[in-house]
Amino acid sequence: MKRLKSVIISLLFTCAAYAQEVVWNVDFDVRLDNHEFAKMDIGRSKTLFGLYLAPTVGFGWDENIHSLNVGADLQTSFGLVGDEPYTGSLLAYYKLDAPKHKVYAGVFPVGDMFDDFTTAFVSDEMRFNDRSLEGVAYVYRARRGYVKLIFDMPRWSRDYMSEILTLYSSSKWTFGGFSMGYLFDLNHYAYGIDRGLIVDNYWLNPFVEYSFGKYISLQKGIINIGGIVTAQRDRTVTSELIFPMGGQARLSVQKWNVGLDNTFYFGDNLMPYAGYVDLYHGSEMYMTQTGVYNRLECYFDAYTTDFMDVSISWIMHTDGVGIGWQQKAKVSIALDSGKWNSMIKQKKHSKYETK
């Protein structure tokens, strides 16, 4: 631990000698996520309610296009009883923030990295619990679309006999009202390499999308149609891959900050090896035994700015047999020195215009 502190202090002093400006970032949110699944054969009833805080400070150069940042995160579940009611970790990462390219390398907050992923790939529970990434992320943005790559290593043992490596990727390109893209998740899961306990897990969701909201005066109106194709193999059972798959359609509409978001899936059980903890990142509802699953979310974005979001949601889950309910509420703040400076400039500009 002393050696780690010495390295961090050395890095900070080295950067300070060459830096042009101090940069900072604060991620803070309070989330409630209540699941009531007693009337469903799949899904677990649970209540998640807690706080997350991740402040970092660093030094930027080349007009803050480059920065090196150090900080920590803190997470707690309200009312948790036990020896460790609070959990946290060191954050240390390099950031490239160019107009078209963004790079994160190190241990850094998740932020909005998974906002474009559906719950098939990243569940609500994972969004609540897993708030930092250990690896590298790259985002390329152009006028018509983007490409995102995220390499995360959430588990590794010193004897090299246990590890989890995950690669996420997403992309979306828009031409007029039509878009096309994909979501991808590769998970190399090994809990005992010497015993052959290795599971291969690949998911791909290609989709096409049509945006119709502007034609009927909606804030948002989107139809998304695609398929979820997977390739999976439990090497303790067989050397052959299996290919669970299905189709998915999504309709999203929003007006006056009130929205409906309905996702309908039909196809196979996409999680045949669900007994392995941490193998799947998506919602457990995709273990459907009936071949169908529907998620209907009604939400209200009560307050939204460039750095703050306040929202509440009511969600109904159905699998053709039972009905489950979920309620969510969130107060989220993501503020950094760049956004802060922009707000100060806007206030000064507005003041001069008023005069």
What is the rounded end-to-end Cα distance, in angstroms, of the chain? 56
Tokens of 111: 């932020």
The Cα angle at residue 110 between residues 112 and 231, in degrees rounded to 5: 90
pLDDT band at residue 83, thresholds of 50, 70 and 90? Answer: low
Between residues 61 and 3, the one the model is more confident about: 61
Q: Are 345 and 352 in contact (CB under 8 A)?
A: no
CB-based burial label for 281 (10 Å; 0-12, 13-18, 19+): buried
pLDDT in tens, 308-350: 999 999 999 999 888 999 999 999 999 988 888 777 777 666 6
The hierarchical CATH code for the domain 2-354 is 2.40.160.10
- Domain boundaries defined on the chain: 2-354
Residue 118 has pLDDT above 60, yes or no: yes
Residue 89 has pLDDT above 60, yes or no: yes
Q: 148-152, 245-249, 321-325: which range is least confident on average?
A: 321-325
Q: 43-47, 113-117, 155-159: which range is least confident on average?
A: 155-159
User: What letters, b where the CB count within 10 A reaches 16 and e where it falls short, cover 206-244?
Assistant: ebebebebeeeebeebbebebebbbebbbeeeeeeeeeb
DSSP state of 273: T
Spatial separation of the C-alpha atoms in residues 318 and 321, rounded to whole Å: 7
- The pLDDT assigned to 1 comes to 47
pTM for the whole thing? 0.88
Q: Are 225 and 264 in contact (CB under 8 A)?
A: no
The Cα angle at residue 111 between residues 110 and 116, in degrees rounded to 5: 95
Q: Are 285 and 296 in contact (CB under 8 A)?
A: no
Residue 158 has pLDDT above 60, yes or no: no
Query: In Å, how far are 25, 58, 99, 147, 200 from 65, measured between CA atoms?
Result: 14, 12, 9, 19, 38
Q: Are 209 and 223 in contact (CB under 8 A)?
A: yes
Average pLDDT over residues 208-230: 95
- Per-chain mean pLDDT for the chain: 88
pLDDT in tens, 196-210: 678 889 999 999 999
- The pLDDT assigned to 165 comes to 86
- The pLDDT assigned to 52 comes to 95
| 41-55, 86-100, 247-261, 335-349, range with greatest mean pLDDT | 247-261
- The pLDDT assigned to 331 comes to 96
- The pLDDT assigned to 174 comes to 96
Spatial separation of the C-alpha atoms in residues 115 and 122, rounded to whole Å: 9
Average pLDDT over residues 70-95: 86
The residue with tokens 């209200």 is: 300
